[in-house]
């Protein structure tokens, strides 16, 4: 298969390009080369998609399939205008941030309401809080379906993506924390649900989708598990048996200004309940039935840990720092023992 990846210089796009090369496909990555390099074996074409004419340089290359990871509406519009008539299949990597309801567990792409599209004057998410991210992805999904037709487009709404080369501080926080040992602050309840997808599994599914001409809209998520399974599974993947987990009530954490999800003072992969009960508890069955395969958590942990050891400067630091964690644990124990 001749495959064009619009992106391919970091995390998911790079993992996809690497896997496609390994499977013997003819791979082109088109990006600026600002975020990183395309993997070896892939052809790299330097384009800046801020230039509306840039994708036209790829129109004569006869690609069987395109995978686009963009968050920018105009980037998608220009790529589709230049390439839609010349390719057989278009995969768009969207996000579960398109959903309007983050509270209800067990939803699927088939039944869940989405946000409205981005307003006409919004082209891209606005940092630092990523405002309009979901709405921009909704707009791009619509463009892909309109331009390619339902019979040639695959929309993959990825959940939290984890694994080697993760540019976020989320999953790597737990790998680092459980590797350090000692008493670990575990947020919420052991039974709370968490959900993610391994970057290599997602890459494999995108390649499968392109090859099999899979069409439609799916969530790209692995099966949800309990937070206790996650934390003990991360520890087990690192060779640590019986981690010392202390579960701390979510209201106590919030009162201590411990933050949710990611960033400074955050406990990653934790979001308050019941408001966010649907975020990491979507129904993975449609994706599994459509060819997503899920590797054991221990493989994901080992791949992440190996990368973190090999490329420490690439690993984003974040989350609750050890001194702050110790303070919160001490205060929690004082409250609990009262
Ligand atoms: N990480 C998660 O947990 C998560 C969760 C849900 C969904 N997602 C989605 O999953 C996808 C992840 O994609 P990814 O990991 O491959 O990385 P990404 O961060 O989306 O990378 C963007 C890609 O686009 C390229 N790019 C950016 N600006 C460009 C421009 N002006 N011209 C040409 N190329 C440009 C970048 O390369 P250069 O900078 O080199 O040009 C890079 O390869 C995204 O769509 C994201 O929204 C992620």
Q: Is any ligand 1 atom within 6 A of the Cβ of residue 51?
A: no
Nearest protein Cα to ligand 1, atom 45? 69
Q: 279 with 101: CB under 8 angstroms? A: no
* pLDDT reported for residue 324: 98
Ligand 1: centre distance to CA 146 (Å): 22
How big is the CA angle at 105 (ends 102 and 110), to the nearest 5 degrees?
A: 85
- Exposed/middle/buried for residue 190 (C-beta within 10 Å: 0-12, 13-18, 19+): middle
Ligand 1: centre distance to CA 113 (Å): 25
Q: Is any ligand 1 atom within 6 A of the Cβ of residue 7?
A: yes
b/e map 256-271, b = 16+ CB within 10 Å: bebbbbbeebbbbbbb
Question: In terms of DSSP bridges, do strands 153-158 and 89-95 run parallel, antiparallel, or are they unpaired?
Answer: parallel
Q: How far from chain centre, in Å, is Cα 188?
A: 23
* pLDDT reported for residue 279: 98
pLDDT tens, position by position, for the chain (338 residues)? 999 999 999 999 999 999 999 999 999 999 999 999 999 999 999 999 999 999 999 999 999 999 999 999 999 999 999 999 999 999 999 999 999 999 999 999 999 999 999 999 999 999 888 999 999 999 999 999 999 999 999 999 999 999 999 999 999 999 999 999 999 999 999 999 999 999 999 999 999 999 999 999 999 999 999 999 999 999 999 999 999 999 999 999 999 999 999 999 999 999 999 999 999 999 999 999 999 999 999 999 999 999 999 999 999 999 999 999 999 999 999 998 88
Q: Is any ligand 1 atom within 6 A of the Cβ of residue 65?
A: no
Kindly tell me the sign of the dihedral angle through the C-alpha atoms of 329, 175, 196, 131: positive
* pLDDT reported for residue 337: 84
Task: For residue 26, give the nearest of 43, 40, 38 by alpha carbon.
Answer: 43
Ligand 1: centre distance to CA 116 (Å): 22
Ligand 1: centre distance to CA 334 (Å): 45
3-class SS of residue 288? helix
* pLDDT reported for residue 64: 98
Q: Whose structure tokens read 């350090």?
A: 180
> Is the CATH code 3.90.25 the one for domain 171-193+225-277+296-331?
yes
Q: 240 with 305: CB under 8 angstroms? A: no
Q: Write the CATH number of the domain with boundaries 2-163+195-220.
A: 3.40.50.720
* pLDDT reported for residue 265: 96
3-class SS of residue 324? helix
Residue 187, φ and ψ in degrees, nearest 5: -80, 140
Q: 143 with 73: CB under 8 angstroms? A: yes
* pLDDT reported for residue 206: 98
Measured CA distances, 16 to 13, 199, 305 (Å): 5, 8, 20
Residue among 5, 6, 7, 160 whose CB has most ligand 1 atoms within 8 A, to mutate? 7
* pLDDT reported for residue 127: 86
Q: 125 with 132: CB under 8 angstroms? A: yes
Calpha distance 17→12 (Å, rounded): 9
Question: In terms of DSSP bridges, do strands 193-194 and 225-226 run parallel, antiparallel, or are they unpaired?
Answer: antiparallel
Q: Which two tokens stand for residue 196?
A: 């993610």
- Locate the domains of the chain by residue range: 2-163+195-220, 171-193+225-277+296-331
Ligand 1: centre distance to CA 6 (Å): 9
The continuous run of DSSP H or E covering 147 comes out as: helix 133-148
């Amino acid at each position: 298969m001749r495959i064009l990846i619009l992106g391919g210089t970091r995390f998911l796009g790079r993992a996809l390009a690497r896997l496609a090369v390994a499977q013997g496909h003819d791979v082109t990555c088109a990006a600026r080369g600002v975020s990183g390099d395309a993997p070896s074996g892939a052809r790299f074409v330097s384009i800046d998609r801020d230039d509306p004419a840039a994708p036209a340089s790829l129109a004569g290359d006869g690609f069987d399939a395109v995978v686009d990871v963009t968050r920018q509406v105009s980037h998608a519009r220009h790529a589709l205008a230049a390439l839609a008539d010349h390719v057989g299949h278009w995969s768009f990597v969207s996000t579960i941030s398109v959903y309007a309801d983050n509270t209800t567990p067990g939803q699927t792409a088939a039944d869940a309401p989405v946000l409205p599209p981005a307003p006409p004057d919004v082209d891209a998410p606005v940092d630092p809080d990523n405002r309009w991210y979901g709405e921009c992805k909704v707009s791009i999904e619509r463009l892909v379906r309109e331009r390619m037709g339902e019979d040639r487009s695959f929309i993959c709404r990825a959940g939290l993506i984890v694994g080697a080369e993760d540019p976020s501080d989320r999953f790597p926080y737990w790998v680092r924390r459980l590797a350090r040992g000692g008493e670990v602050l575990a947020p919420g309840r052991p039974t709370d649900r968490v959900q993610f997808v391994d970057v290599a599994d997602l890459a494999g599914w995108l390649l499968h989708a392109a090859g099999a001409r899979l069409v439609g809209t799916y969530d790209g998520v692995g099966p949800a598990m309990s937070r206790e399974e996650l934390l003990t599974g991360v520890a087990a993947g690192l060779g640590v048996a019986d981690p010392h987990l202390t579960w701390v009530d979510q209201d106590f954490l919030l009162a201590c200004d411990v933050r949710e999800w990611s960033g400074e003072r955050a406990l990653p992969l934790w979001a308050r309940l019941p408001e966010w009960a649907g975020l990491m508890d979507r129904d993975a069955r449609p994706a599994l039935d459509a060819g997503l395969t899920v590797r054991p958590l221990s493989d994901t942990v080992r791949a992440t840990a190996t990368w973190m050891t090999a490329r420490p400067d690439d690993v984003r630091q974040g989350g609750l720092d050890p001194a702050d964690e110790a303070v919160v644990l001490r205060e929690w124990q004082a409250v609990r023992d009262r």
